[in-house]
Structure 1
């Protein structure tokens, strides 16, 4: 897609006004579909809309990482922004760790902006960063399902700690917002441990149990890690990781998934499985796989 400078300016300006009006924690009514990482895989995003329905007929909660790695980050983010402008209460866009300037300048989005509109590429990239700074951090579905990109934070005591966090949030580096963009669950860890990603924490199943009890929630949905079968559950299914970019970066033969949440908060996993020989055996054998070095900060 060849967008003009005026189109970038108008779309980013209009959607920024909407994001500025949303709290860092937004409330969502079911039914809805929760989506994980996209990473510029525009064709897969379009396939998902064709198969599951588009806004406003279907309400979507996207959990971040729209840009970087894939070749069509601009198409992904511009389409989602346009939907947000047209149907602000039917699509919700949360912030991922790749919607941070220091990250997407390194992993592809900056270069894509420069290549797409050379004369104004750096200016357009900077406009996107200011817009990303106003993205919500988490969503609460019917007060019982908490969604975010990364995971939990030791600074998250009550939901109000997040709900009333001031925006814009420029270049989060530590604290509750940074943690929720970067954190990962790890059943082998007790309590908290510094993440090898270089930012945020890893947390154990006892933390998941404590947070669910303390906050009165029943399920945590997060993304951030490439799962070979598209999803992964821990802690008695109190936490689900989803990843929505199949055949990630054309490097993995992974499936992808989204979660459909109905009015009664029943959760259905919808998988997108690539047509690869012996794929079912591969998925069952590997169960989950990701490479932490993909998102390491120098």
Structure 2
């Protein structure tokens, strides 16, 4: 996005170091159970981890701030925007403001009571989270 943000569903992959490697993936196919495309879909950041660790979800990896910072530096990016993890406040910012999780489903599955957000990115690259709750229940 604008040459400075990477938007991805899940997270990063130990097999992908450069944006060109993502561009070469066949993204118009079923998501495999493992490999780089699966990692991009199912990996999660964790502020308590270093490097890549196999995810307890059974697909993808958990990765630390060191991984995110290296990927951003190598690719001359400033921020990673992702989804894939419920955030009770609608969003979460990690790794010294270099990674954001955006969750856009309020009251997920009609039972979590969470709020949701969308992320606006200005022409200059500043980010603003718009938070919202669920629509009123119809009677």
Query: Do these two structures clear the TM 0.5 threshold for a shared fold by scoring above it?
Result: yes
Are the equivalent residues in 1 in contact too, given 2:31–2:37 (CA < 8 A)?
Answer: no
**Counterpart Cα distance in 2 of 1:165 and 1:243:** 25
Residue 239 of structure 1 aligns with which residue? 99
Residue 266 of structure 1 aligns with which residue? 126
**Counterpart Cα distance in 1 of 2:30 and 2:101:** 26
Return the offset for 1:167. 5.0
Residue 214 of structure 1 aligns with which residue? 74
- Secondary structure of the corresponding residue to residue 57 of structure 2: coil
1:230 paired with 2:90, answer yes
Segments of structure 2 that go 5 or more residues without pairing to the other structure are: none
List 4+ stretches of structure 1 deviating above 4 A: none
Find the structure with the greater CA-based Rg.
Answer: 1
RMSD of aligned Cα (Å):
1.6
The TM-score normalised by the length of structure 1 is 0.44
Are the equivalent residues in 1 in contact too, given 2:120–2:130 (CA < 8 A)?
Answer: yes
- Secondary structure of the corresponding residue to residue 252 of structure 1: coil
Residue 197 of structure 1 aligns with which residue? 57
1:163 paired with 2:23, answer yes
**Counterpart Cα distance in 2 of 1:273 and 1:189:** 31
Q: Structure 1 168/268 Cα, relative in aligned 2: closer, same or farther at 3 Å?
A: closer
The TM-score normalised by the length of structure 2 is 0.92
**Counterpart Cα distance in 2 of 1:170 and 1:273:** 32
Query: How many residue pairs were aligned?
Result: 136
Return the offset for 1:148. 0.6
Residue 148 of structure 1 aligns with which residue? 8
**Counterpart Cα distance in 2 of 1:205 and 1:167:** 26
Return the offset for 1:157. 1.4
Are the equivalent residues in 1 in contact too, given 2:18–2:71 (CA < 8 A)?
Answer: no
CA displacement, residues 48-69 of structure 1 (integer Å, 9 cap, x when unaligned): xxxxxxxxxxxxxxxxxxxxxx
Return the offset for 1:274. 4.8
Are the equivalent residues in 1 in contact too, given 2:44–2:62 (CA < 8 A)?
Answer: yes
**Between structures 1 and 2, the one with greater strand share:** 2
1:180 paired with 2:40, answer yes
Residue 7 of structure 1 aligns with which residue? none
CA displacement, residues 113-151 of structure 1 (integer Å, 9 cap, x when unaligned): xxxxxxxxxxxxxxxxxxxxxxxxxxxx01100001000
